[in-house]
Structure 1
Amino acid sequence: MSFQIKEPPTEFDVVIVGSGAGGGMAAYQLAKAGAKVALLEAGGYYDPADPKYITQLKWPYESPRRGASTPFRNFGDFDAAWGGWEIAGEPYTRKRGTEFDWFRSRMMGGRTNHWGRISLRFGPDDFRRKSIDGLGEDWPIDYKTVAPYYDQVDKLIGVFGEANGLPNDPDSIFLPAPKPRLHELMLKESAKKSGVPIYPNRLSILTKPVNNERGSCFYCSQCNRGCQAYADFSASSVLVIPAVKTGNVTLTTNAMVREVLTDPNTGMATGVSYVDREKLTEHVVKGKVVVLAASACESARLLLNSKSTRHPNGLANSSDVVGKYLHDSTGASRGAFIPKLMDRKRYNEDGVGGAHIYSPWWLDNKKLDFPRGYHIEYGGGMGMPGYGFGWGMENTNGKYPGPDGKMKEAGGYGASLKDDYRRFYGAYIGMSGRGEAVASADNYCEIDPTTVDKFGIPVLRFSYKWSDYEIKQAKHMQDTFEQIIDAMGGVASGNKPGADSNYGLAAPGRIIHEVGTTRMGSDPKTSALNAFNQAHDAKNVFVVDGGAFVSQADKNPTWTILALSWRASDYIIDQVKKKNI
Structure 2
Amino acid sequence: MQIIESSKTYDVAIVGSGAGGGMATKILSEAGFDVAVLEAGPFFDPAKDEDRNQLRWPYESPRRGASSNRRSFGDFDAAYGGWNIEGEPFTNAPGTNFWWFRSRMLGGRTNHWGRISLRFGPLDFKRKSVDGLGDNWPIGYDDVKPYYDKVDKLIGVFGSRENIHNEPDGFFLPPPKPRLHELYYVKGARKAGIPVIPSRLSILTKRINDQRGSCFYCGQCNRACSAYADFSAGTCLIFPAQKNGGKVQIFTEAMVREVTTDKNGKATGVNYINKADRKEYHLKAKVVVMAASACSTARILLNSKSSVHQNGLGNSSGLVGRYLHDSTGASRSAFIPQLMDRKIYNEDGTGGMHVYTPWWLNDKKLDFPRGYHIEVWGGMGMPSYGFGFNPNDLNKVTGGAVGGYGDSLRDDVKRYYGATLGVSGRGESIPQRDNYCEIDNDVVDEWGIPVLKFNYKWTEHEVNQAKHMQDTFEEVLDAAGGILLGDKPGADRDYGLTAPGQIIHEVGTTRMGNDKRESVTNKYNQLHDCENVFVMDAGPFVSQADKNPTWTILALAWRASDYLVEQVKQRNI
- Give the TM-score normalised by structure 1: 0.97
Distance 1:398 1:340 in 2: 17
1-structure distance, mates of 2:228, 2:6: 37
Matches within 5 A, 1:404-553: 407-553=399-545
- Find the residue that maps to 1:377 and give its secondary structure: strand
2:522 and 2:65 map into 1 onto residues whose CA distance is 45
**CA contact 2:6–2:284 (8 Å) conserved in 1:** no
CA distance in 2, matches of 1:377, 1:455: 39
* AA of the residue aligned to 1:565: A
Q: 1:6 is matched with which residue?
A: 4
1:308-457 residue pairs with structure 2 within 5 A?
A: 308-364=306-362, 366-391=364-389, 393=391, 395-397=393-395, 400=398, 407-457=399-449
Cα displacement (A) at 1:413 = 3.2
1:33 aligned to which of 14, 31, 34 = 31
Q: Secondary structure at the match of 1:12?
A: strand
From 555, 558, 578, the counterpart of 2:570: 578
**Distance in structure 2 (CA, Å) of the matches to 1:323 and 1:454:** 22
How far has the Cα of 1:236 moved from its partner?
Answer: 1.2
**Residue 425 of structure 1, CA deviation:** 1.3
User: How far apart in 2 are the matches of 1:94 and 1:408?
Assistant: 45
| Stretch of structure 1 that moved more, 513-522 or 488-497 | 488-497
- Match for residue 52 of structure 2? 54
Matched ranges for 1:140-159 at <5 A: 140-159=138-157
**AA in 2 matched with 1:490:** G
Q: Following TM superposition, by how much is the alpha carbon of 1:279 offset from its aligned partner in structure 2, in angstroms? A: 1.3
**SS at 1:478's partner residue?**
helix
Report the counterpart of residue 183 of structure 1 in structure 2: 181
Q: Which amino acid aligns with 2:438?
A: E
1:393 deviation in Å?
Answer: 4.6
Q: What displacement does 1:4 show?
A: 2.7
How many pairs does the alignment contain?
572
One-letter code of the match for 1:508?
Answer: P
Q: Structure 1 CA distance, aligned partners of 2:101 and 2:397?
A: 38
Residue identity in the other structure for 1:539: E
Check conservation: 2:325, 2:506, Cα contact below 8 A: yes
SS at match of 2:27: helix
The answer for the alignment partner of 2:280 in structure 1 is: 282
After TM superposition, give the deviation of residue 365 of structure 1 in Å. Answer: 6.1
Structure 1 residue 394 displacement after superposition: 5.1
Supply the distance in 2 between the matched residues of 1:419 and 1:33 (Cα, whole angstroms): 60
Letter in 2 for 1:141: I
Question: Structure 2 vs 1, CA of residues 37 and 489 (structure 1 numbering), >3 Å: closer, same or farther?
Answer: same
Partner of 2:260: 261
Find the aligned partners of 1:523 and 1:281 in 2 and give their Cα distance. 40
The question of 1:295 aligning with 2:287 is answered no
Q: Is the 8 A contact 2:328 2:503 kept in 1?
A: yes
- Unaligned regions of 5+ residues in structure 2, if any? none
Q: Is the 8 A contact 1:446 1:462 kept in 2?
A: yes
User: Match of 1:404?
Assistant: none
Distance 1:191 1:384 in 2: 26
Find the aligned partners of 2:346 and 2:303 in 1 and give their Cα distance.
52
Aligned residue identity for 2:82: G
Give distance in 2, aligned partners of 1:25 and 1:575. Answer: 18
SS at match of 2:152: helix
Measure, in 2, the Cα distance between the counterparts of 1:394 and 1:107.
39
Question: Are 2:211 and 1:213 aligned?
Answer: yes
CA drift at 1:96: 0.1
- The one-letter amino acid paired with 2:477 is I
Q: Tell me the distance in 1 between the aligned counterparts of 2:289 and 2:149.
A: 23
Q: Name the residue aligned to 2:546.
A: 554
Q: Which runs of 5+ in 1 are unaligned?
A: 401-406
For residue 211 of structure 2, give the secondary structure of its aligned residue in structure 1.
Answer: coil
Partner of 2:271: 273
Distance 1:449 1:387, change over 3 A: closer
What whole-Å deviation, never above 9, does each CA across 1:362-415 have from its counterpart, x for those lacking one?
A: 013651000010000000111111232224655323652xxxxxx433223332
Secondary structure class of the residue paired with 2:564 = helix
**Secondary structure of the structure 1 residue equivalent to 2:395:** coil
Task: Give the conservation status (yes or no) of the 8 Å contact 2:332–2:423.
Answer: yes
Distance 2:61 2:297 in 1: 35
CA distance in 2, matches of 1:174, 1:247: 28
Identify if the C-alpha distance between structure 1 residues 573 and 223 changes in structure 2 by more than 3 Å, giving closer, same or farther: same
Query: Structure 1, residues 90-145: CA drift from partner, whole Å, max 9, x if none?
Result: 11111100000100000000000110000000000000011110000000000000
Q: CA deviation at 1:247?
A: 4.4
The CA deviation string for residues 218-240 of structure 1, in whole angstroms up to 9 with x for no partner, is 00000000100000001111111
Alpha-carbon shift at residue 8 of structure 1 (Å):
3.7
Distance 1:475 1:398, change over 3 A: closer
Work out the percentage of aligned pairs sharing the same amino acid.
Answer: 65
Give 1:429 shift: 1.1
TM-score, length basis structure 2: 0.98
> Equivalents in 2 of 1:571, 1:290: separation in Å?
14
1:395–1:492 contact (8 Å) kept in structure 2: no
Residue from 164, 167, 174 that aligns with 1:166: 164
Distance in 2, Cα, partners of 1:439 & 1:159: 29
Secondary structure at 2:284 match in 1? strand
When structure 1 is superposed on structure 2, of 380-389 and 551-560 the one drifting more is 380-389
Tell me if structure 2 keeps the 8 A contact 1:392–1:427.
Answer: no
Q: Quick one: distance in 1 between partners of 2:156 and 2:49? A: 25
Q: Which moved more, 1:560-569 or 1:277-286?
A: 277-286
- Describe the SS at the equivalent of 2:478: helix
Would the aligned equivalents of 2:397 and 2:483 in 1 still touch at CA under 8 Å?
A: no
Answer yes or no: is the 8 Å Cα contact 1:260–1:302 preserved in 2: yes
Q: Could you give the per-residue CA deviations for residues 532-572 of structure 1, whole angstroms, max 9, x where no partner exists? A: 00001111110000001000000000000000000000001
> Residues 466-508 of structure 1, C-alpha deviation per residue, up to 9 Å, x if partnerless?
0000000001001111111111221212100111111111100
Note if contact 2:395-2:401 (Cα within 8 Å) is conserved in structure 1. no
| Number of the residue aligned with 1:252 | 251
Contact 1:337 1:395 in 2 (8 A): no
1:412/1:127 CA distance change after superposition, 3 Å:
same
Instruction: Supply the distance in 2 between the matched residues of 1:314 and 1:364 (Cα, whole angstroms).
Output: 39
SS in 2 for 1:563: helix
| CA distance in structure 2 between the aligned counterparts of 1:391 and 1:59, rounded to whole angstroms | 20
Query: What secondary structure sits across from 1:166 in the alignment?
Result: coil
Hey, what's the Cα distance between the residues in 2 that align with 1:271 and 1:371? 42
Letter of the aligned partner of 1:176 in structure 2? P
State yes or no: 1:124 paired with 2:122: yes
Distance 2:335 2:518 in 1: 49
